[in-house]
Structure 1
């Protein structure tokens, strides 16, 4: 693997804010299941403005898969916006739902 390829797949932490009809539709539980299946660690939490905030640490290819999933969410969700921000790297033991 070249240095460029290694750099591209380095671990990173992203913050993903998902807005729309994303609370009360099992978004957090479904997100945790998706993240665990992808080997991503982090947190997911409802926000007071009705959005869901995800902090996710993993390698680029699987983080991209999580972002694509977040654009739609579970079948009962209606995602209107999915914003992604880079954050300082954070280590988590697992992927947790925060209350």
Structure 2
């Protein structure tokens, strides 16, 4: 995983900080994951289950790269047996 840890001075208050490819930092927004998953399925139970697992996996980090978030989403979907959703998520991220 491409996860980074930084000192408290570079983190956003309230939790996880996301570092994009340009090295810029922003607060983690789980609503983006929710929106991406909702775009893949109309089943709220699946969305909630997958979203909860992804957020739980990321919760232990201070700073995480966007690529790590994307990988975590894909791996979680695949581990839960949602291979088609994982494939479609990858396509949308690289479109």
TM-score by length of 2: 0.37
| Larger fraction in strand | 1
| Larger fraction in helix | 2
TM-score by length of 1: 0.36
More relative contact order in 1 or in 2 (CA 8 Å, sep 6+)?
1
